[in-house]
Amino acid sequence: MAEFDFKRYHIRSMNAASDEERAAINLELKESYASLPEEDKQEFNVQLEKFMIVEMGRLSNDYEAIKGLNNSN
């Protein structure tokens, strides 16, 4: 089973200097997916979904922590 490094794309996208650079990174990820054999595409999707769930949960926790700090002032 292949392991896909979504965190690398995510960090590069967060640090992109422009919308154009971010779009190029997204295109790179899409092209990577398109180049996969069909049997690996489902695993790619499963791993991407798990990454997004974890990352969105982390962002939500960070937001709530910051919101809580702002409300305590």
pLDDT at 46: 95
Residue 70 has pLDDT above 60, yes or no: yes
pLDDT at 64: 67
Give the domain ranges of the chain: 6-71
- Is residue 25 a contact partner of residue 8, using CB atoms and an 8 Å limit? no
- Is residue 60 a contact partner of residue 15, using CB atoms and an 8 Å limit? no
- pTM greater than the 0.75 cutoff: no
CB neighbour list of residue 29: distance below 8 Å, 6 or more residues apart: 9
Helices and strands counted in the chain (H then E): 3, 0
Token pair belonging to 69: 């700090």
pLDDT at 1: 72
- In the chain, the percentage of residues whose pLDDT exceeds 70 is 84
Q: What is the mean pLDDT of residues 26-40?
A: 95
Give 51 or 2, the one with higher predicted confidence: 51
